[in-house]
Chains A and B, each alone.
Chain A
Amino acid sequence: QVQVQESGPGLVKPSETLSLTCTVSDYSISNSDHHWGWIRQSPGKGLEWIATIYYTGKTYYNPSLKSRVTISLDTSKNQFSLKLSSMTAADTAVYYCARFLGPTGPDYWGPGTLVTVSS
């Protein structure tokens, strides 16, 4: 059964760039059947889709975050990553990585990692 696990800093300073990595186990991210993506959830709030990527490198971004977000793949490590620049307190959230059934939505979710933006 596929497993996805987020890793990265729990604390980021304002204006810095957040870098998160998702390690995928028991499934190849080069498999053409699925996409890979990131979703976040601010404390006590709802879910927000951030970005999705396909093994070909095709990317999809949330228009509200597009200017600050980069999603990428590292097939040699079976990982994919998220970079979010110019972090502010509003970006404080639990960040989830997930396998997507297509570009439309996730099936397997990681446990999430809390990222706090504070000086």
Chain B
Amino acid sequence: QAVVTQEPSLTVSPGGTVTLTCDSSIGAVTDGHYPYWFQQKPGQAPRTLIFDTSHKHPWTPARFSGSLLGDKAALTLSGAQPEDEADYYCLLSYTGARPVFGGGTKLTVL
């Protein structure tokens, strides 16, 4: 089974920009992996921010964007706010529609 890797932790200054990445152990990440990004705050269920690489839900703040960056999926936060401090997970779908989550990135806004 594929392993999906994310940065364990990142720090961003308020108002700053940070990029989180999502890597696959089996080749480059492409649109065919339908990358998703989720935000999870302590004690809460995850919330879906991005689907299919770059598509946003109505509730996704405009400061979040998804893309492919080199061989990885990426989530960019531009203009970080204190409320963006959370855990972020990516999800990639592999052959046979079997999604695999990344280990998560703990984002600190400081």
Mark A residues whose CB is within 8 Å of B.
39, 46-49, 52, 60, 62-64, 96, 101-112
Contacts and interface: CB of A to CB of B under 8 A. Distances in A.
A104 B30 CA distance: 14
A105 B1 contact: no
Interface stretch (B10-18, B21-29, B46-54): B46-54
Contacts, number: 64
A64 B99 CA distance: 12
A62 B46 contact: no
Given A105-B91, A105-B99, 16 more contacts: A46-B89, A46-B101, A47-B91, A47-B104, A49-B100, A52-B99, A64-B1, A96-B46, A102-B34, A102-B97, A103-B99, A104-B91, A105-B34, A105-B48, A105-B51, A110-B45
- Residue from A39, A47, A52, A112 with most neighbouring chain B CB atoms (10 Å): A47
Given A96-B45, A96-B46, A109-B47, A104 B104 contact: no
A49 B36 CA distance: 13
Contact of A48 (B47, B57, B96, B101): B101
The 8 closest A-B pairs by CB, nearest first: A103-B97, A104-B93, A105-B36, A104-B34, A47-B101, A109-B45, A49-B99, A46-B104
